[in-house]
A and B are shown apart, each in its own frame.
Chain A
């Protein structure tokens, strides 16, 4: 027998201390209390008459002491988490699964964490009498720790491994073969211990499996979103990606609805690990509330392990027009891009006309967005949404750097709403002016380390600055240009409605003060701007604007396996602690019934 929870020496030491404590207690108990009486002869005669049974004899303290000793030693044994096997002797090669599924969480901890804990215990036992090597079974198996008997070295290596999980399935079979090859170099006894959430199929290689879970198979919606079609007025586009986190083919029916209207319905079949993108379109001038569902999900040989990733939600902003004032000497590409945008109501003026019309601040604000194309007025009126394209001079609150000839765009902030779905890769610019970004600026486009485009957001004001002239590049001839302008106008108009992106359940939302209506219809007033009751996936209405909360971002394999099988020891036998616990309970009950129940 060996111990999983504590080293055998520690168990023995604690057991000795417990035994000493019990014996001391017995000795203290065995000192009788003095009691004067009138005449002991009566007691002696009574003692003869009583003829006590063994349960009442003076040997009872000895019996009780022995029982207490047994209970104490069993308790220590139980604390040591005994295992029925005889420990690890000789050479042990441990294969530690570091594949994607080992990141699955069970009760707050990941499988890899549990695996490392188990390994640390195994190492503690194995290094006493033998040597241990650890093979990391990731996408490509590798030897993590060569053969060593140093538990400290192994512990450090395992601690480093804990946060590292490969973004893919582990090649467990290859890892076991590698372990077999390593073990074959050494004499018997030798063994291979695999710590994983699945059983490798290594033919002919004997190994022992320490299971830390069971990778569930699930068919999941991993991406679901919708946006207005910048070209087709009133239409929206839907993108839905489904991935099979399975080891067998999976089938389902994918249905996408806008409220009750079905906009997409198809029977789908995916191979193991396959990811398929589905697109659909719909039409509404109002806010769209979209849902995607996988129905009748079938995974060959098993069941869909997670239902939460079979549904996703998205919203579409309502169709609205934005008044845009374009100040330009003439730019047919820009005029066309803005003029064809069905959501834009365009008014075009030259810089001279702008100066002649003498806008005051209030009348200037009738335009939601003002675009200065290669020009700037003498006095820049304050405005909440301004776009400056290749400004000829410093507007006062922005510093220019040098001019770059034929700069190459090296990085784009694709997570910014202005560059959403905009591909600027490979754009050829004639020249570009370097913009010196301030702390409130977000660099949208860089050429090496130089900023060529900025998005500035300050309270009550947004501004986009392009340090280059699109007309002097091939950008205006690419589909990205109208999309860029559309995104820019939408972002500059910065509607007060919350963004139409999806969030994960449980996300803490930062919202304007108002009323949030949950999917169940329950209203809750939000005062502090923080809303955290987002546990349920669905469409939440924020001040009557819908907002989607979906589990789509959870649909990776890391959280897709809720099944947690009971841990089994390396021996494969039921946990010995269970029987020890039962014995302990029986002993304590027997002692109480025989010695203490109803006794003085």
Chain B
């Protein structure tokens, strides 16, 4: 796994790349865009995959009349085909300072996962964009479409720098303004922001986006093991310092608070038709891709 700031080293090792060759992104048909691709779309048109028959109405293309059906039923029917279209994959990568915590740092894993989604998408000739976000949506990297562009994409992801705060609501609004079309939005984040992420998920869903929320977790965030006694906690994003006396009750309350927040995000995400993936940084990348990405992708 590439460490933070290591530009020369690729984000995905060969073993992970071989695994990604066998995976395929499955999205809902209505998520597809207007471009030609390999995904089934909800548009019934001139594709090659037969879908259904419908009665002929004036104005229809007479070339698509099923004459064999007319011979059997003495009625005019048209053959309807599914149209296979591409999807637009937008990977929103959390680059706030909280992503630097964890062992290994969450940000490195998040970048590897972003590259993995990009790799799968480009393999299917989808349009892949990786957009960093913190307080706002960052600069959009060039959209990549083919596998040949994967090294370039990896370098671009590696070059993304850490910023300060997290504000996903602003990020979501900016994303919708910037990307009016439908697509798959992969949000790679640690969710370490107490604000309501559900509103943003709903806004994205209403805009026609399918959400895949990848929750990058580390033990320090979800189940910290701090020594007892007085601790001066310092927020890595805001720099705010708080002194607490660590004891079992406080640790339990903290774990419950984090778990409830994650559960709320997960529930809203699923409720708007999205998918939720938990990605602990302590897992090796290969295992992470094999076990964590399984709900989001299918094996070819």
Contact = CB atoms under 8 A, between A and B. Distances in A.
A43 B244 contact: yes
B190 A38 contact: yes
A599 to B, nearest CB: 6
Nearest to B243: A32
Nearest to B255: A46
Contact of B235 (A32, A39, A47, A56): A39
A40 B194 CA distance: 10
B236 interface: yes
Nearest to A33: B231
Contacts of A29: 229-230
A44 B250 contact: no
Interface stretch (A57-65, A405-413, A582-590): A57-65
Nearest to B96: A38
Interface string A71-109: 000000000000000000000000000000000000000
Interface residues of B, number: 41
Interface stretch (B45-53, B77-85, B220-228, B268-276): B220-228
B233 A35 contact: yes
Interface in B204-257: 220-221, 224, 226-238, 240-254, 256-257
A56 B252 CA distance: 13
B168 to A, nearest CB: 13
B234 A39 contact: no
Given A33-B230, A34-B234, A43 B254 contact: yes
Contacts, number: 112
Given A32-B232, A600-B228, A41 B194 contact: yes
Nearest to B237: A39
B190 A60 contact: no
Contact of B233 (A40, A56, A60): A40
Interface centre among A29, A31, A38, A41 (most CB of B within 10 A): A38
Contacts of B261: 42
A52 to B, nearest CB: 6
Contacts of B237: 38-39
Interface in A12-54: 29-47, 49-50, 52
Nearest to A30: B230
Interface of A: 29-47, 49-50, 52, 56-58, 60-61, 599-600
14 contacts: A34-B232, A35-B232, A36-B233, A37-B235, A38-B98, A40-B235, A40-B238, A41-B235, A43-B244, A46-B256, A47-B244, A50-B250, A52-B245, A52-B250
A111 B246 CA distance: 58
A595 to B, nearest CB: 10
A60 B227 CA distance: 16
Contact of B240 (A31, A33, A40): A40
Contacts of B242: 40, 43-44
A44 B233 CA distance: 10
A34 to B, nearest CB: 5
B258 A42 contact: yes
B101 interface: yes
Contacts of A44: 242
* Interchain residue pairs A-B with the least CB separation, the first 8: A32-B230, A600-B228, A38-B98, A46-B253, A46-B254, A50-B253, A32-B232, A38-B192
B226 A35 contact: yes
B221 A38 contact: yes
Nearest to B246: A600
Given A29-B230, A49-B253, A49-B257, A36 B101 contact: yes
Contacts of A600: 227-228, 246-248, 251
A56 B234 CA distance: 21
A397 to B, nearest CB: 91
Contacts of B232: 32-35
Contact of B245 (A31, A39, A58): A58
A32 B228 CA distance: 11
Contacts of A57: 245
Contacts of A46: 250, 253-254, 256-257
B245 A56 contact: yes
B103 interface: no
A129 to B, nearest CB: 47
Contacts of A58: 230, 243-245
B140 interface: no
B192 A56 contact: no
Nearest to B106: A38
B230 A61 contact: yes
Contacts of A49: 253, 256-257
A42 B227 CA distance: 18
A9 B256 CA distance: 56
B156 interface: no
B192 A39 contact: yes
B196 interface: no
B110 to A, nearest CB: 13
Contacts of B244: 43, 47, 58
Contacts of B241: 40
Contacts of B251: 600
Nearest to A50: B253
A422 to B, nearest CB: 88
B13 interface: no
B193 interface: yes
Interface centre among A29, A31, A39, A47 (most CB of B within 10 A): A39
Contacts of B249: 50, 52, 56
Contact of B220 (A33, A37, A61): A37
A39 to B, nearest CB: 4
Given A43-B244, A57-B245, A600-B246, A32 B257 contact: no
A36 B101 CA distance: 9
B167 to A, nearest CB: 13
A34 B241 CA distance: 9
A31 B240 CA distance: 17
Contacts of A32: 229-232, 243
Contacts of A42: 192, 194, 254, 257-258, 261
A578 B190 CA distance: 61
B23 to A, nearest CB: 30
A60 B190 CA distance: 34
A600 B256 CA distance: 18
Interface string B96-114: 0010010000000000000
Given A43-B250, A45-B194, 15 more contacts: A32-B243, A35-B231, A35-B233, A36-B235, A38-B190, A38-B236, A39-B193, A39-B235, A42-B192, A42-B194, A46-B257, A47-B244, A56-B249, A599-B228, A599-B247
Contacts of B248: 599-600
B103 to A, nearest CB: 13
A47 B254 CA distance: 8
Contacts of A33: 227, 229-232
Contacts of A37: 101, 220, 224, 233-236
Contacts of B192: 38-39, 42
A32 B251 CA distance: 17
Nearest to A52: B249
A599 B228 CA distance: 8
A244 B233 CA distance: 83
B194 A60 contact: no
Contacts of B220: 37-38
A43 B247 CA distance: 12
A61 B229 CA distance: 9
A36 B236 contact: yes
A29 B253 CA distance: 25
Contacts of B234: 34-37, 40
